[in-house]
C-alpha cells in the first residue's frame, strides 16, 4: 500500500465489478427501440471523472461520442469545496442527443446541478447522470444521480481519478489518506 494511504475505502476489484454492472444498466436503458445498442454522448466532468469514464466507456456497446467539461471545486491543497467553478466546456452541440453526464463523486450536488443545468439548456433528447461515489447524507433531498456506483461515508477520498492537491489520481483504489499526508507532511507535499 502507498505510504500516504490510511485505508482503502473501495478496492480496485470492487470498482471493476461495479463499473461492469453500471455499464450493463446504462446500455440497457439507452438501447434503441429496435433493440440495437443506440448512440450516446458521454460528458465526463474533468478532471476527477477521467479514470472512471475511461473504464466505463470501454464497457459500453453503443456508438459513443465524448464531450468534456472542466470544473474546479477544490483549488490547491484543500478538502473544503469553494463551490464549483466552470473552467471549460467542450461538449459542442448536444441538441437532440442522448447524454450521460459522468462525475466522480456526488458530495453536496452543486457540481452536478450546475453542469446538468448547462447541458439541459442545450436541449438534449435525454439527459441522465452517473456518479461513481455518493457521500452519504451530504446532498439536499432533491439532488441524486440516475446511476450510483457506491455510497461512502463522509470522508475525503482520493485515488481512481480523485485528487488531493492534484496528486494521487493514479492510485488504483479509492482510499483515505493519512492525516500527515493531508497536512502536507507527506513526501509528496508541495507548495502552491
Ligand atoms: P459537490 O459538493 O459539488 O462536489 O457535489 C463534487 C465535487 O467535489 C469534489 N469532491 C471530492 N474530491 N475527494 C476528492 O478528491 C473527495 O472526497 C471529494 N468530495 C467532493 C469532486 O471534484 C466532485 O466532483
pLDDT digits (tens, 9 = 90+) for 18-30: 999 999 999 999 9
Q: DSSP letter at 25?
A: H
How close is the Cα of 135 to the center of ligand 1, in Å?
9
- Report the predicted TM-score, pTM, of the whole model to 2 decimal places: 0.92
Spatial CA neighbour of 107 closest among 86, 88, 131, 127: 131
User: Closest ligand 1 atom, CA of 139?
Assistant: 5
Residue 84 to residue 191: CA distance in whole angstroms:
23
139: closest CA among 105, 167, 185, 116? Answer: 105
> Ligand 1 centroid vs 35 CA: distance in angstroms?
36
pLDDT tens, 119-174? 999 999 999 999 999 999 888 768 899 999 999 999 999 999 999 999 999 999 99
Residue nearest to atom 4 of ligand 1 (CA): 107
Atom of ligand 1 nearest to the CA of 155: 17
Kindly state the average pLDDT of the residues 42-69. Answer: 96
> Which residues are CB-neighbours of 76 under 8 A, at least 6 positions away?
165, 192
* Average pLDDT for the chain: 90
Amino acid at each position: 500500500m502507498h505510504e500516504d494511504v490510511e485505508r482503502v475505502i473501495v478496492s480496485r476489484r470492487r470498482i471493476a465489478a461495479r463499473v461492469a454492472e453500471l455499464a450493463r444498466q446504462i446500455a440497457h436503458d439507452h438501447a434503441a427501440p429496435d433493440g440495437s445498442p443506440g448512440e450516446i454522448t458521454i460528458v465526463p466532468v474533468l478532471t476527477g471523472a477521467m479514470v472512471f469514464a475511461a473504464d466505463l466507456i470501454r464497457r459500453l456497446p453503443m456508438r459513443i461520442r465524448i464531450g468534456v467539461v472542466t470544473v474546479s471545486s477544490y483549488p490547491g491543497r484543500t478538502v473544503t469545496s469553494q463551490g464549483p467553478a466552470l473552467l471549460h466546456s467542450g461538449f459542442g452541440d448536444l441538441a437532440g442527443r442522448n447524454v450521460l453526464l459522468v462525475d466522480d463523486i456526488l458530495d453536496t450536488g452543486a457540481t452536478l446541478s450546475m453542469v446538468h443545468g448547462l447541458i439541459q439548456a442545450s436541449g438534449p433528447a435525454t439527459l441522465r447522470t452517473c456518479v461513481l461515489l455518493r457521500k452519504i447524507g451530504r446532498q439536499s433531498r432533491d439532488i441524486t444521480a440516475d446511476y450510483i456506483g457506491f455510497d461512502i461515508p463522509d470522508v475525503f477520498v482520493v485515488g481512481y481519478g480523485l485528487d488531493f492537491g492534484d496528486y494521487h489520481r493514479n492510485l488504483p483504489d479509492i482510499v483515505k489518506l493519512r492525516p500527515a499526508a493531508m497536512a502536507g507532511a507527506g513526501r509528496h507535499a508541495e507548495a502552491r
